[in-house]
Chain A
Amino acid sequence: DAGITQSPRHKVTETGTPVTLRCHQTENHRYMYWYRQDPGHGLRLIHYSYGVKDTDKGEVSDGYSVSRSKTEDFLLTLESATSSQTSVYFCAISGAGRPAFFGQGTRLTVV
């Protein structure tokens, strides 16, 4: 959808390798989020950002780090991927007082 782009859309990686997922927005929204979706769990918040260089942990942050050096980009890094991190990852953005808008998702498989 216009306004938010996730890359890559699909990735297969090996256990123990680092992986970085990118979220890019063109809406100039202050808030950005990373969620993961797994069967039986719905969506769970990993990390979020409330401004450039301002980030905080979500519900399931262990094993993940994030960075936001520009308003438009929010990166999610798996320092050493594990099979338990196989999931679909969604980025979301929101302006103050507005509902979150989600990207198309990145399907990550760790083998």
Chain B
Amino acid sequence: DQQVKQNSPSLSVQEGRISILNCDYTNSMFDYFLWYKKYPAEGPTFLISISSIKDKNEDGRFTVFLNKSAKHLSLHIVPSQPGDSAVYFCAAKRNYGGSQGNLIFGKGTKLSVKP
């Protein structure tokens, strides 16, 4: 069973507009969530994270929202740029602190930002 779900395999957005990537999870024990960005032939790169004690975390053009009651999080990119075109992975872990790399990943959403 998938514990972390990214139901949209792909998303296409116009440059300058907002990109919203969604992620749902089923395990209520998850208390720390991360987004990674991946370009072809490269390793995933950490983008932004949020702990379950918060409902929003912002870093420049990237904002992650967490709705614990719905077990849903989303990544907003504003404004979207062509260089944001990549695969975005949502990931989750239990027990904030300690080992941050023991993660459960979603399948990813491929974002295409068109000029």
A94 CA to B91 CA in the complex, in Å? 15
Chain B contacts for A93, CB-based, 8 A? 101
Stretch from A65-73, A76-84, A101-109 contacting the other chain: A101-109
B97 x A97 contact (CB < 8 A): yes
Q: A31-B100, A42-B105 are in contact. List 7 more A-B contacts (CB 8 A).
A: A33-B101, A45-B103, A48-B102, A58-B102, A94-B100, A101-B46, A102-B43
Task: Determine the residue in chain A with the shortest Cβ distance to B91.
Answer: A43
B106 x A42 contact (CB < 8 A): yes
Which bracket fits the contact residues of B? 20 to 34
* Known contacts A90-B43, A103-B43, A104-B43, A97 near B98 by CB under 8 Å: yes
Interface size on A, residues (CB 8 A): 28
Interface set of A (CB-CB < 8 Å, partner B)? 1, 31-33, 40-45, 48, 50, 58-59, 90, 92-94, 96-105
